[in-house]
Amino acid sequence: MALHRESGDGRRVAWSLGNLANVVSAQGDFERAKELYEEGLALSRELGGTEMLGAHLISLGYVYLLEVDLERATTLNEEALRLLRKQERKSLLHVVLDNLGWAALLQGDQARARSYYEEGLTICKELGDKTIASESLEGLACISASEGEAERAAKLFCAAQALSEAVGLHHTPEQAALREPYLATTRSQLGEVAWEEALAQGRAVGLEEAIEYAISDKPSVTTLYFTPEQPSAPEPKYPAGLTSREIEVLGLVASGMTSTKIAEELFLSPRTVNTHINSIYHKIGVNSRAAATRYALEHGLA
């Protein structure tokens, strides 16, 4: 970047700003990443060019998405969407559609999220892009989980995981935190036997088959559809709408375990454990471990 600044090559400076921002964003330094993306975005607007401007809009919008600033994330990605549609550029269109799908999902607009994901997946199929396809498949899995379709959610999660493994994609803690509540609910409702069966099937599914299943109105016609050997029991009803995973976490909180220890016990990241704890606090109306422990004891959960 320094060399390009010296030579006065504005376009290469803009691309270098984006590349450097990608690196620091992956390291979790979102504030520095936003500064770099903003500078690259301003320079891209001056220089013109669809691909460079679109890339900065999408990347900056994704950082805001990970920070759960959904309004800003949506605004930036919608601008990118308009730009790419106008220029009929598909090379980045499925990426921005995936971003908008997650923003809509996290805002509770499942219909809009599904529309974005499904359009993006058709492009992923055309381009053979397993990386973005896996992200959008997980988004649709989250929608299915929220609608109580645990079996369908499991198949989509597992198909997405297979694609991620094929391309060596690993989620950052921030990315994992967006999915974990839906994933935990699905595994809890489905049961481990059915989950493992779904996982095995997902690993055997290719990109096109997974996408066809995801966007099909009749999933039973695909080979991904399976019937568990034993029907899974419905998730027990817990007070305050707590999930089975949250009950586990609450019980360990009441036993005096730290978030780090709970993470080790349940094979989760500390960030995910804290996400569960915050959800528990919200549901039972408390704001401290002591109050949560008291609630657990009063309701026979510890």
* Backbone dihedral angles phi then psi of residue 59, each to the nearest 5 degrees: -65, -45
| pTM to 2 decimal places | 0.68
- Number of helices (H) and strands (E), helices first, in the chain? 16, 0
Decide yes or no: CATH 1.20.1530.20 for domain 239-302: no
CA 247 – CA 238 distance, rounded (Å): 8
**Contact criterion met (CB below 8 Å) for 277 and 253:** yes
pLDDT the model gives residue 269: 60
Give residue for tokens 């691909």.
51
Which residue in 166, 151, 230 sits closest to 198, CA to CA? 151
H/E stretch holding 300? none
Give me 175's structure tokens.
């990315």
Query: Taking the chain (302 residues) in consecutive chunks of 10 residues, what is each chunk's mean pLDDT?
Result: 89 88 87 91 86 88 92 94 83 91 94 94 92 95 91 90 87 88 88 79 80 70 35 60 83 90 70 78 89 91 86
Sequence ranges of the chain with CATH classification 1.10.10.10: 239-302
pLDDT the model gives residue 230: 35
CA 80 – CA 51 distance, rounded (Å): 10
* Dihedral angle computed from the Cα positions of residues 154, 177, 102 and 96, in that order, rounded to the nearest 10 degrees: -110
DSSP, residue by residue, 86-139: HHT--TTHHHHHHHHHHHHHHTT-HHHHHHHHHHHHHHHHHHT-HHHHHHHHHH
Give me 114's structure tokens.
């599904």
**For the segment 240-255, what is each residue's pLDDT rounded down to a tens digit?**
888 777 888 899 999 9
Q: What is the DSSP letter of 217?
A: S
Task: Name residue 222's amino acid.
Answer: T
Neighbours of 104 (CB within 10 A): 22
CA 54 – CA 47 distance, rounded (Å): 13
For residue 140, give Cα distances in angstroms to 47, 89, 118, 183, 218: 37, 24, 8, 12, 15
CA 157 – CA 137 distance, rounded (Å): 7
